[in-house]
Structure 1
Amino acid sequence: MRTILTVILGISVLLGCFANTWAENASQVKTLERVTQRLVAPPFLPAHEQVAQGPPKVVQVRMVIEEKRMTISPDGATIWAMTFNGSVPGPIVVVHQDDYVELTLVNPTTNTLRHNIDFHAATGALGGGELTHVAPGQEVVLRFKAIKAGVFVYHCAPGGPMIPWHVVSGMNGAIMVLPRDGLRDAEGKPVRYDKAYYIGEQDFYIPKDANGKYKAYPTPIAGLEDMLEVMRTLTPTHVVFNGAVGALTGEHALTAKVGERVLFIHAQANRDSRPHLIGGHADLMWSGGSFKDRPATNLETWFVAGGSAVAALYQFRQPGLYVYLNHNLIEAMLLGAAAHIKVEGVWNNDLMEQIHKPGSIK
């Protein structure tokens, strides 16, 4: 009996300590500066400082879930996309290590499904997924402390087969948690970027009818069974950057100038990818997205594991058109996983020069 009482007393003391800690943390958060971050559509990042200014803050963000029909390729494929803030991928959030992210997640009455959000940057409760389930007409507020520096995926995870269906229907995004003192190169020296772009790679699985034409459905749930059948083949019909074939090419191409350092954040919530910059490299690449690890240098192609994001920094040295792609060339050229970067500046013949133009063989 004495042993049981001792155990009960010990548990009571432990719970009391936890309660005091929770109260202290809640009180501390109330004293922090609160800022609102205005999220923007990819490939762009919200306004942010590369080096933290002052102590940790509570960064307030708002995401509105939108179920919408989207055209994803010139061959007529459409999908009932499930989106955060109306874009595929969802917007990228940028904070600093030890900041608090306070998200208001809204599921309007115009939607038809329950949704939630799992932040790979968060600790506990399935990345917040357990605490953010919202039905149409509901909203929820989640706050978590960003204790790990790096780039991370977030996605909807409502449970069971609905998880992959929501993810491959576009419901994923990324968060970048910068070190408070900014990024550092392989020698530990501070490094800054002049521009940053967020590329979300998306695999789609669009069913076809008996005549080989892509199917369209009146509601998201109407296409569920057909889509699951295609998904079980593990063979996507489309692999694209930022929601559609050509979303980052032609008139939508990314831009840079010779001499600029550009940070590319590349996320894939479901499948592995192998980014490559034709005509360039990754001067620095943070494997697995971890900014606390020493970056790899001078890579021709780098790896993104499914369910993760990485960051790569490159300083452009020549003008012209660059192609950034998944170096599974079948997925890049036949399924759509490619982007363009138009770079302005003066050509350097020392780096490359055409000695003779093409002509007849002598």
Structure 2
Amino acid sequence: MEKQSSTPAVNVDQQRRSFLSGSVGLGLVGAGMAAGLVSGSASATTQTKSDRMANYKAEQLERVTQELVPPPMVPKHDQVAKGKPKVVQVKLVVEEKQVELENGTKAWVCAFNGSVPGPLIVCHQHDFVELTLVNPASNALAHNIDLHAATGALGGGELTLVSPGQEVTFRFKATKAGTFVYHCAPGGVMIPWHVAMGMHGAIMVLPRDGLKDAEGKPIKYDKAYYIGEADFYVPKDAKGKYKAYDTVMGSMTDVLEVMKTLTPSHVVFNGAVGALTGKGAMTAKVGESVLFIHSQANRDSRPHIIGGHGDYVWPAGSFTDAPQTNLETWMLAGGSACAALYNFRQPGLYAYVNHNLIEAIIKGAAAHIKVDGEWDDNLMVQLKKPSNITTA
């Protein structure tokens, strides 16, 4: 279904003024967030290597372009930084479109680079990220990006607000190491609505010397996957059937009413029920260590690998802190991203779920990992096949 050409585009200048002044305009934009991230200063008397890395200016550094890829894949990157920090250039193009969540049920999304979630961005601490945000003229809404990895008021939100037909480039220094959410936050009610339309993603800022355990020993991974959990709020008609809409603006009023119930119709990984199962399943081999980056921009989640564990888990996302170890399930706070590493010991089909099993099984928050390799009877073995019960 095509968008109607009569749909009005939001005036970005009016939205920016409303965003900063706290006024509400046209029922679409509203009070700006009073938020800011403050970076502490080091008091050490001697300059460490980390201090030197932090002191570089962007103009002094090599510029590299990162090729972003659709989740669950992650961009090519070095686990340990090489040389000086870099200016990592990335580009995100907003696409407003309809997607199928499950069996013909459709929802309008605002997708960074066309995917829900948006692509994972990877850099190292003290790198600069230079991000270009493109809002094509074919879109109906104003958009921006708030990066939880950025240090500064609104996470770059005020500096990146663009109306349809505009693009903007801004730069920030990755001062903190960890996994972080990014999302659209154009002001007022548009903030939760855009997030609930899948307009979020994650950035992983690796320590320059790589991941470490509690004793400072290096932790390496053989591959990595990015899982973006999203909650959707699809309205139903009087007969209990999910409704569909011709335009993104046409869906807004009804979707907001469902959102007020705080009860999602769907909770999914990577944009749709079953997106990471079947042909879309993640893969690994026995003996491989896999890093899972998991984000949820809106609601709490409980990642769990059925048949596996979190060998090393950074549940709050901070790579500066020592990882927790040997967890069965870990808590992910809404509005954050976490990382967990597991070394697979047995072959087979593993389920990776939100261990609110209602959301996993009924609403869609489940994925699969296909693991190849040799079975180890010492870890698990069936001693007796199922047979009929005999009575004395």
Which residue of 2 is the match for residue 329 of structure 1?
Answer: 357
Mapped contact 1:186–1:297 kept (Cα < 8 A):
no
Out of 153, 162, 183, the position equivalent to 1:125 is 153
Out of 219, 232, 240, the position equivalent to 1:204 is 232
Which residue of 2 is the match for residue 39 of structure 1?
Answer: 68
Task: Determine the C-alpha separation between the residues in 2 that align with 1:131 and 1:219.
Answer: 28
SS in 2 for 1:314: strand
Which residue of 2 is the match for residue 157 of structure 1?
Answer: 185
Aligned ranges for residues 275-294 of structure 1 at < 5 Å?
275-294=303-322
Task: Determine the C-alpha separation between the residues in 2 that align with 1:157 and 1:41.
Answer: 22
Mapped contact 1:39–1:93 kept (Cα < 8 A):
yes
Amino acid at match of 1:252: G
Task: Determine the C-alpha separation between the residues in 2 that align with 1:31 and 1:120.
Answer: 25
Aligned ranges for residues 206-225 of structure 1 at < 5 Å?
206-225=234-253
Mapped contact 1:117–1:128 kept (Cα < 8 A):
yes
Amino acid at match of 2:328: E
Which residue of 1 is the match for residue 94 of structure 2?
Answer: 65
Amino acid at match of 1:125: A
Task: Determine the C-alpha separation between the residues in 1 that align with 2:106 and 2:78.
Answer: 38
Structure 2 unaligned spans of 5+ = 1-53
RMSD, matched Cα: 1.1
Mapped contact 1:125–1:131 kept (Cα < 8 A):
no
Amino acid at match of 1:147: T
Structure 1 unaligned spans of 5+ = 1-24
Question: Deviation of residue 80 (structure 1)?
Answer: 1.1
Greater percentage in helix: 1
Question: Deviation of residue 218 (structure 1)?
Answer: 1.2
Out of 48, 55, 59, the position equivalent to 2:77 is 48
Task: Determine the C-alpha separation between the residues in 2 that align with 1:186 and 1:323.
Answer: 28
Which residue of 1 is the match for residue 25 of structure 2?
Answer: none
Question: Deviation of residue 200 (structure 1)?
Answer: 0.2
Question: Deviation of residue 292 (structure 1)?
Answer: 0.4
Q: Does 1:193 align with 2:224?
A: no
Which residue of 2 is the match for residue 7 of structure 1?
Answer: none
Which residue of 1 is the match for residue 200 of structure 2?
Answer: 172
Task: Determine the C-alpha separation between the residues in 2 that align with 1:67 and 1:200.
Answer: 18
Q: CA-to-partner distance for each residue in 1:302-349, whole Å, 9 max, x for gaps?
A: 010000000000000000000000000000000000000000000000
**Identical columns (%):** 70
Task: Determine the C-alpha separation between the residues in 2 that align with 1:251 and 1:61.
Answer: 28
Mapped contact 1:186–1:284 kept (Cα < 8 A):
no
Q: CA-to-partner distance for each residue in 1:253-298, whole Å, 9 max, x for gaps?
A: 1000000000000000000000100000000001210000000000
Which residue of 1 is the match for residue 389 of structure 2?
Answer: 361
Q: CA-to-partner distance for each residue in 1:45-88, whole Å, 9 max, x for gaps?
A: 011000001100000001101001100112x2111110100000
Out of 269, 279, 303, the position equivalent to 1:241 is 269
How does the TM-score come out when normalised to structure 1? Answer: 0.92
Which residue of 2 is the match for residue 263 of structure 1?
Answer: 291
SS in 2 for 1:228: helix
Q: 4+ residue stretches of structure 1 with deviation over 4 A?
A: none
SS in 1 for 2:108: strand
How does the TM-score come out when normalised to structure 2? Answer: 0.85
Out of 232, 235, 239, the position equivalent to 2:260 is 232
Question: Deviation of residue 188 (structure 1)?
Answer: 1.5
Task: Determine the C-alpha separation between the residues in 2 that align with 1:292 and 1:231.
Answer: 35
